[in-house]
Structure 1
Amino acid sequence: MSFLKHAMAAAAVLLITPAVSFAATETKSITVNVSADVPNVAGLQVSTPDGWEGLPQNLPWDTARQVLGELTGRVINVKSPAAITAYLSAPAQMASAADVVDLAVKLDNVVVPATAAAKITVANAAQAASGKSLAFAIAPTEPGGGYKQGTYGGQFHMIFESDI
């Protein structure tokens, strides 16, 4: 009887083997987005050492005083063979529906202007050549009538230039 069981098992394997060998190959794919920014080593370099660029920056709410606080503690590193200037492409603001909060953007405690014509020098030629770390801050301006409840958001572009 044991021989019969072995023979039947072998026959079953022979019958199943062709079905398994013709099984469809299942394929899954994933998409991976990769990017890199390789700077011109001899050109203008701007970086955030802790990688906060492009990430939401949350202004702290002071519950006791019922005001938005200034965001501090961020650093921007710059380097270039020539002096570096900075300006905003437009006024910095954040909004919640129709309610708007104006923002003062600061580098080394100097307000960055919202026009190229008024750009400020953030590193002279010597500072730029050796590299300079700039303290970055965002200070909200309390609207007339105080802050209105809401979820505020906004985006601004800071432009750095160096004549190399």
Structure 2
Amino acid sequence: MSYVTKEGLGKLRKELEQLEQIERPKITQQIAEARDKGDLSENAEYDAAKEAQGMLEMRIAKLKDIISNSKVIDQSQLDTSKVAILCSVKIKNKANGQELKYTLVPDTETDLKANKISVHTPIAKGLLGKEVGETAQITLPNGNQIDFEILEISLE
């Protein structure tokens, strides 16, 4: 089971619809056109179209699986007394005083440009369950440890 926001589920469904109704027919047409060109054993266009079709079908199957096994998170039920999924967290690096703000989101909604990080990242895992004023000790993949003070927890 994976958790998604209502907005995230909508994006997944829209992508699935685009792939099934627009991309799939395009690839089918490309395969038909390449097949009409004759000998398939040396037809690079045919091979490329068949490979693209396989990749497309894998993505469609994955999206269907994610959508069917997703549970929408009800934001109104979230508690901001502790860091949890969909919370925005303002933190301060205790070593250098730098302040950062992240929103913890499901894997499918990660967007680093918007400071939305997966709840499965080392930083998010270290922050989950912490309260304002607490220190989260985050162990980075390289083994270094960073201490972050939780300054603020909110829903955005």
Whether the TM-score (by the shorter chain) exceeds 0.5 is no
Looking at both structures, which has the greater relative contact order when contacts are Cα pairs under 8 Å and sequence separation is at least 6? Answer: 1
- Specify the structure having the higher radius of gyration (Cα): 1
Task: Kindly indicate which of the two structures has a greater share of residues assigned to strand.
Answer: 1
Q: By percentage of residues, which structure has more helix? A: 2
Q: Report the TM-score when normalising by structure 2.
A: 0.24
